[in-house]
Each structure stands twice: as C-alpha cells, then as structure tokens.
Copies of this chain bind each other. A is one copy, B any other.
Amino acid sequence: MNKKEELAKIFPVWNKLSDEEKETLTNGSSVKTVKEGAVIHNGDEDCIGLLLIKKGIIRIYILNENGREITLYRLFDRDMCLFSASCIMNSIQFDVKVEAETDVEMIVIKAPVYEGLMQKSLVVANYTNELMAARFSEVMWLMEQIMFKSFDVRLAEFLYQQMNIEQNSTISITHEKIARHMGTAREVVTRMLKYFQGEKMVRLFRGGIEIIDEDKIRKMFD
C-alpha cells in the first residue's frame, strides 16, 4: 500500500477532504517505524508533527524533575496524537512526552501542513476540536479520580490487602464486588483497573486480577 492509500484508510475525515487537500496531506506526511521504548516526542520545544498510528501503542505522559511520571492516556491503532504538534496552536501552553510502548508504525503529518489544513477546511478544524475535547476528557477523568478521591491509592491498597488475605498474587473477585467494597460504581473500578493494567501493575482476566508488580502497587499507598 502506498502512503496515499494508507492515509485513505486511517485518516479520520479523509472522505470529506477535497482532492487538493488529499494531495497536500499526502505530500506533507511520511511513514515511520519506531521501536518499543523509543521516546517519540520529548516535550520542550520540538514539534515533530501529528502522529497517526497505523499499528502499535503510544503512551502520553508528563514527567517531573525527580523522574516521577504520570501517564495521561494511551493511543492505539487509528488514533491520532495532537500534542506532539503543540506548535500548531498558540494556546497550547503545556507539553507532554510521547513514548512507543510497542513497536509502532505510524504516519507523521508535518505540523505546518496540518495547521494549513485546519485553517482551510471546516471538517479538519472541527475534527481537531473533537480530538482535543476527547483528550481533555481523559485528563479530567484522571484528575478527578486522583485529586478528589485518591481512588488510585485506595484501589492499590485494597488489591494489596486482598492479595495478602488470599495469600495469592491472583485475586478472584469481580469489579462489581470491588465497587461495592469501595462505595463506588463498577465503571470507575474497571477504568482504574485498566489504567493499572496499562501501567503493568496488574493483568486482568475474566473473574479476577493478577498482581504482576507488587512493589509498584505497594509504593502507591506506602
């Protein structure tokens, strides 16, 4: 498949672009492969472009001077990463880091090319709005859970205790049951467990949870 065909397949609003816009986008993009663990975007001033994921997982996170990290969210096949091109908007006054969690095949769209499209195409402008709103929502969810409820800390402590009670790194319990224990909704438990799984602290399976990084779990509430 050539680059244009790839874009046609995975660029979200391809069918709504004019022929000219399709050409511009194709000429302003390049296909890249990065290895697992590579830092794709390092915050600071660099503005490498928008990343359209063909295959793989990338992680978007922030990092402080003591090396502590917070994962904001992950992106998967066909997702697009906007903040690796934060220079396209004056009002983006923060910076994130982007890392390949698996080998990643992606299409990199040059920042000025995308910016030009945004200024000319209503479809691209409004798609970008939705994209930013979706990422904003992820971050707001995380903030509410962590700042208000320390729900991450409480859940880590609960899992650790349960592991000790059952004398087994595999806990047989449903998300529903944990939710009742902790006075919250099942959806909240499921989402935070998935976050933990992404952080490689647990592995989820039907009917239970395996603790795979006891240390990391304990450090959360210790």
A62 within 8 A of B: yes
Pick from B68, B125, B139, B149: contact of A143, CB below 8 A.
B139
Contact with B along A161-195 (1 / 0, CB 8 A): 00000000000000000000000000000000000
Residue numbers in B under 8 Å from A118 (CB-CB): 126, 129
Tell me if A94 and B129 are in contact (CB < 8 A).
no
**Number of residues on chain A facing chain B (CB within 8 A):** 36
Please determine whether A130 and B90 come into contact, CB atoms closer than 8 angstroms.
Answer: yes
Binary interface encoding of chain A residues 124-135 relative to chain B, with 1 for a CB under 8 A from any of its CBs, else 0 = 011011111111
Given contacts A120-B122, A122-B120, A122-B122, contact A89 B141 (CB under 8 A): no
Tell me whether B125 and A92 are in contact (CB under 8 A): no
For the complex, is A23 an interface residue (Cβ under 8 Å from B)? no
**For residues 106 through 130 of chain A, which have their beta carbon under 8 Å from a beta carbon of chain B?**
118-122, 125-126, 128-130
A64, A118, A143, A149 — most chain B CB neighbours (10 Å): A143
B64:A144 contact, CB within 8 angstroms: yes
Using A89-B129, A93-B137 as known contacts, list a sample of 8 further A-B pairs with CB atoms less than 8 Å apart, ordered by residue number in A: A64-B149, A89-B133, A93-B133, A93-B134, A94-B140, A119-B122, A119-B126, A136-B139
Per CB-CB distance, the 5 closest pairs between chain A and chain B, nearest first, are A91-B133, A125-B125, A93-B137, A94-B140, A91-B134
Interface residues of A (CB under 8 A from B): 62, 64, 68, 70, 89-94, 118-122, 125-126, 128-137, 139-141, 143-144, 146-149
